[in-house]
Amino acid sequence: MNVLGIIAEFNPLHTGHEYLIEKLRRETGADFCIVVMSGDYVQRGEPAFFSKTLRTQAALLSGADLVLELPLSVSTGSAEYFAEGAVSLLDHLGCVTHLGFGSESGDIRGFQLAGKLLSEEPEDYRRLLQSNLKVGMNFPKARYEALSTYLSLPQRSKEDHCGVQDGTAWYPSSLKEPASENSIFSPENLSGILSLLESPNNILGVEYCKALHKMRSSIKPVTVKRLGAGYHDSLTGSDRGCAADNSANFRYASASGLRKAFLSAQNASFSGEADPGEAGITSLMQDYVPAPCRSLYVRALQENRYVTFDQFFLPLYHILQYSDVEILSGYQDITESFAARLLKLFGTCSSMTELCSALKARNLTSAGTGRMLLHILLNLKKEAVEAERQQGLALYARILGFRQEAKPLLSEIDRNADIPLVTKTADASRVLSPLALSQLERTIKASELYRAAMPGARSESEYVQNIIIF
């Protein structure tokens, strides 16, 4: 049995994601596809636009056979933490043969090399990284600069390099492969590693390969070239797929571009300029959303069942009113300096958008800022996250939904998984360890806050919600 694993946010799922699933299934010969998905909060440092329930339905309609939920601490973690937790979950299932993801290059070799380098952290690279962090660089930039310098170090002694003849590049002996003109360790390919650390999707791909190498997992990584817009791009006519992929009649959006377009169409409808169920929304659906998912999205938008980060400002404001630097420093990723700036600035802002903008700093990404605010809002403490990490991050596998045809896959997981499978949250206390139960309960409480922020949401508790079965 070939089982494909995909790590995703689907925030929201669009035609590019549909293409990714279909292409990866073809290339891996997958009998089944498992999607490990962020719940109601995502790694980009914000709540998901649509609920995990709706996004699970969209995934099952677009080629997934089984959807599992990432724990809150993993879904809102840094790229490294997110990848490590998600890959660990897939590895613990005991039946996943391939891990697939999209990338700008579509060439897995560079990702594997970068993952190996970053997993092993050679001493010279580690020293360069720490030096960059000490002068105030944020982690992504510090790592990029350290790796850039590391790969361009001059040739060392014969014992310290792998046969480079021209002296223009240094190949660490830990790579254990001689450099040749056609080798993945050629100067051209090594320099190409740096480009992998310049976009969000590529960075996550590197982190997936790093985690696989670190865990000595047997899961084989596979990547396909992304089509259309980049992650942060707006929607334009240039988003059309290329004819070489038989996709000239389809458009591929960025998730962020699609969210902005949905909000713009909604705002137009609220001002009386358009009907959200007619011109604006319908046009977006036809261009960028898989046909089976369109009615889901239209209905959710018409009923205002979507969430923006600004809807969480008042709860956060209330927490900050009763906090000090010591209290805030106990939350995951929060430093004393950030806590002090936050306490100084939050009273001058009237929205989460304003607050994030005010907190911008040279050594802090916007996603990193969002994640820290989420950790305060959702009561995610450092000691809890560290305890989870010590136990391997993936302490259980919670099913959000599956297709009836995937029952053989569920049986395979039941036979081979070395972590508990959660099907009914009400029964979780009987199958989970205290630490795993605590991890699940934090995720559930965060989802209930999410539901409370959504005007059109149902009020039933997570503990009584059923698994989605197609």
Query: Each residue's pLDDT tens digit in the chain (470 positions)?
Result: 999 999 999 999 999 999 999 999 999 999 999 999 999 999 999 999 999 999 999 999 999 999 999 999 999 999 999 999 999 999 999 999 999 999 988 889 889 988 998 999 889 889 999 999 999 888 888 998 998 888 776 533 333 433 333 333 334 444 444 444 444 445 555 667 788 887 777 999 999 999 999 999 999 999 999 875 554 455 544 343 332 344 444 467 789 999 999 998 887 765 555 454 455 677 778 889 999 999 999 999 989 999 999 999 999 999 999 999 999 999 999 999 999 999 999 999 999 999 999 998 878 888 999 999 999 999 999 999 999 999 989 999 999 999 999 999 999 999 999 999 999 998 999 999 999 999 999 999 999 999 999 876 666 678 788 899 99
Rounded Cα gap, residues 57 and 401, in angstroms: 8
Count other C-beta atoms under 10 Å from residue 268's C-beta: 16
DSSP 8-state secondary structure symbol assigned to residue 243: G
Per-domain residue ranges of the chain: 1-104+201-307+392-470, 118-198, 309-385
Rounded Cα gap, residues 468 and 54, in angstroms: 10
Return the exposure string of 289-323: e unless at least 16 CB atoms fall within 10 Å of the residue's CB, then b.
bbeebbebbbebbeeebbbbbebbbeebbebbeeb
Rounded Cα gap, residues 91 and 393, in angstroms: 12
- CATH number for 1-104+201-307+392-470: choose from 2.30.40.10, 3.40.50.620, 3.90.930.12, 3.30.70.260: 3.40.50.620
The pLDDT score that the predictor gives to residue 201 is 76
Rounded Cα gap, residues 341 and 357, in angstroms: 12
Going by C-alpha positions, the residue among 59, 60, 63 that lies closest to residue 24 is 63
Count other C-beta atoms under 10 Å from residue 435's C-beta: 14
The pLDDT score that the predictor gives to residue 160 is 42
ω into 12 cis (within 30 of 0): yes
Count other C-beta atoms under 10 Å from residue 76's C-beta: 31
The pLDDT score that the predictor gives to residue 179 is 43
pTM of the predicted model as reported, rounded to 2 decimal places: 0.89
- In the block, which residue shows the tokens 């996943």? 96
Q: Which tokens hold the place of 392?
A: 């391997």
